């Protein structure tokens, strides 16, 4: 397998591909499930984020290697066409399940039955064997996938993206813990899936440790980055000119959903500490916060603006609504450093996107971020969420402006190894292994 797929095996197990000569059939068509967030939604709004980008890019690259993908997602507005072609070989199917508007992610478990019904209806119109495999994303989709895969007699590949037990172990102050129902749901899916895709080795370890996953079922596939869109391009100065930003400013950027988990408040507090120590920096400091409230952040959408005022940094902070991917790439290029103080992050796609655009990253040393960021080479990793620690690194960038360029160049080189083509071919290998194993066990399923 490619270097990007690490298979967790018990010692002594022979590699799967040596055991079954001639049985390496790739799926022709995959049913991909994304219940709570549509691949057509703008990342950075509502529940749309890295997972949307992941599903869209992976599906497009799988289609490019002749694996057709149909993505089932919940219809969130009336009058949507039942199906939309996202790209050649990639179809998005809108499933009616519950009211279009105003349904929070926490209320979706009650709609899984309706969603499953919609998936089954779509399948009923096809000949038997239409889908070769189900790939579900996030635990809500996993439950639908479990039933669909069983009903269709095909393997289930599941990607957690985030895990309740991991999130609850590292909650932000004042954030709401994930409910017990989710923990139970995730445990059931881990048991039911033929293969589990983890973003990093750490996530694979967490699946085994927290959910007793069979190590032989877990495959590590790093997500990719769209290197055609996120690239250095014409550089920092040109991007700043396009966005109307001052050329000589120190610009620490936050980009993502505004919720306690992502900890944008830590950046604002760090900026307040920095300005206390170095008031002369105020005239050349600009802190853009690009994104919209999400999750538990929706309860107090203006909390971050109020915090900026309370800390006395409102004059240097600029709030921007979520932007499309092309413009996001420009914000990354324009920034001096991307700041990601998250409490939990299964991978942290934006860290790779910013680096691909030539910008270093200052991140919390959690989840997949130590894989995404090479500490002291392409950015800095900080243990914990103490604002003073983040302020210290920002001071380094203020005092040594050349760091932005030298680390940015290293970051762009590092990001090149995270192309989506690599991820897609690694995922296709996981599919092949799941199908092989499933065929071996089919007779025992039916007595």
pLDDT at 4: 45
Note down pLDDT in tens along the chain; length 447 residues.
Answer: 444 444 444 333 334 444 444 446 899 999 999 997 787 775 554 555 678 888 999 999 999 999 999 999 998 888 889 999 999 999 999 999 888 777 777 888 888 999 999 999 999 989 989 999 999 999 999 999 999 999 999 999 999 888 888 888 877 777 888 889 999 999 999 999 999 999 889 899 999 999 999 999 999 999 888 999 999 999 999 999 999 999 999 999 999 888 887 899 999 999 999 999 999 999 999 999 998 876 667 667 688 999 999 999 999 999 999 888 899 999 999 999 999 999 888 778 899 999 999 999 999 999 889 989 999 999 999 999 999 999 999 999 999 999 999 999 999 999 998 989 999 999 999 999 999 999 887 654 443
Distance CA 402, CA 17 (A): 49
Query: For residue 83, which of 92, 70, 73, 95 has the smallest C-alpha distance?
Result: 92
Q: Are 329 and 349 in contact (CB under 8 A)?
A: no
Place of tokens 């370890």: 205
Helix count and strand count (H, E) for the chain: 16, 15
- What DSSP state is assigned to residue 291? -
pLDDT at 24: 64
pLDDT at 252: 98
DSSP H or E stretch at residue 210: helix 201-211
- What DSSP state is assigned to residue 259? S
CB-side neighbour CA atoms (13 Å) of 425: 8
Burial tier of 336 (Cβ tally within 10 Å: 0-12, 13-18, 19+): buried
The domains located in the chain, with CATH, are 5-224+419-439 (3.40.50.2000), 235-417 (3.40.50.2000)
pLDDT at 312: 97
Distance CA 420, CA 67 (A): 15
Q: Are 431 and 26 in contact (CB under 8 A)?
A: yes
The stretches of 312-401 forming alpha helices (DSSP H) are 325-334, 349-356, 369-372, 387-399
Distance CA 4, CA 279 (A): 46
Q: What is the pLDDT of residues 363-419, one digit of tens each?
A: 999 988 998 999 999 999 999 999 999 999 999 999 999 999 999 999 999 999 898
The stretches of 373-445 forming alpha helices (DSSP H) are 387-399, 402-415, 420-445
Q: Are 274 and 281 in contact (CB under 8 A)?
A: yes
CB-side neighbour CA atoms (13 Å) of 283: 1
Give the dihedral of Cα atoms 125, 130, 136, 141; nearest 10 deg.
20
Q: Are 160 and 346 in contact (CB under 8 A)?
A: yes
440: three-class secondary structure by DSSP: helix
pLDDT at 445: 42
Q: Are 227 and 419 in contact (CB under 8 A)?
A: yes
Sign of the CA dihedral with 407 first, then 409, 413, and 416 last:
positive
The stretches of 65-173 forming alpha helices (DSSP H) are 112-124, 138-152, 164-169
Burial tier of 270 (Cβ tally within 10 Å: 0-12, 13-18, 19+): buried
Distance CA 357, CA 256 (A): 16
- What DSSP state is assigned to residue 172? P
């Amino acid at each position: 397998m490619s270097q990007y797929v690490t298979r967790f095996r018990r010692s002594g197990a022979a590699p799967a591909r040596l055991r079954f000569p001639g049985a390496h059939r790739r799926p022709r068509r995959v049913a991909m499930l994304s219940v709570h967030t549509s691949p057509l939604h703008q990342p950075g709004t509502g529940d749309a984020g890295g997972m949307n980008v992941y599903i869209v890019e992976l599906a497009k690259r799988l289609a490019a290697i002749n694996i057709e993908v149909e993505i089932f997602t919940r219809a969130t507005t009336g009058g949507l066409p039942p199906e939309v072609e996202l790209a050649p070989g990639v179809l998005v199917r809108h499933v009616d399940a519950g009211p279009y508007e105003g349904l929070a992610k926490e209320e979706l478990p009650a709609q899984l039955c309706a969603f499953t019904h919609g998936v089954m209806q779509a399948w009923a119109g096809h000949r038997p064997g239409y889908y070769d495999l189900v790939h579900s994303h996030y635990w809500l989709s996993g439950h639908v996938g479990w039933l669909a895969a069983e009903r269709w007699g095909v393997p289930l590949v599941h990607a957690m993206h985030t895990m309740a037990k991991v999130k609850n172990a590292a909650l932000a102050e004042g954030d709401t813990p994930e409910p017990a129902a989710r923990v139970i749901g995730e445990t059931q899916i881990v048991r039911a899936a033929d293969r589990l895709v983890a973003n990093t080795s750490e996530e694979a370890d967490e699946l085994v440790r927290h959910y007793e996953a069979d190590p032989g079922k877990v495959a590590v596939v790093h997500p990719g980055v769209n290197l055609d869109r996120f690239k250095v391009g014409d550089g920092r100065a040109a991007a700043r000119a396009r966005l109307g930003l001052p050329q000589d400013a120190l610009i620490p950027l936050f980009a993502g959903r505004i919720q306690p988990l992502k900890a944008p408040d830590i950046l604002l507090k760090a900026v307040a500490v920095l300005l206390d120590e170095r008031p002369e920096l105020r005239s050349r400091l600009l802190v853009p916060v690009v994104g919209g409230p999400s999750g538990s952040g929706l309860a107090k959408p203006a909390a971050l603006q109020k915090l900026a005022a309370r800390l006395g940094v409102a004059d240097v902070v600029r709030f921007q609504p979520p932007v499309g991917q092309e413009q996001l790439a420009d914000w990354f290029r324009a920034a001096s450093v991307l700041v990601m103080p998250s409490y939990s992050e299964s991978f942290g796609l934006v860290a790779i996107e910013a680096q691909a655009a030539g910008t270093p990253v200052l991140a919390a040393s959690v989840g997949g971020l130590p894989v995404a960021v090479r500490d002291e080479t392409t950015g800095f990793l900080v243990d914990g969420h103490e604002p003073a620690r983040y302020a210290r690194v920002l001071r380094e960038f203020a005092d040594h402006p050349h760091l932005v360029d030298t680390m940015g160049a290293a970051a762009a080189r590092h990001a090149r190894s995270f192309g989506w083509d690599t991820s897609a071919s690694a995922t296709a290998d996981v599919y092949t292994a799941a199908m092989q194993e499933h065929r071996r066990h089919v007779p025992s399923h039916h007595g």
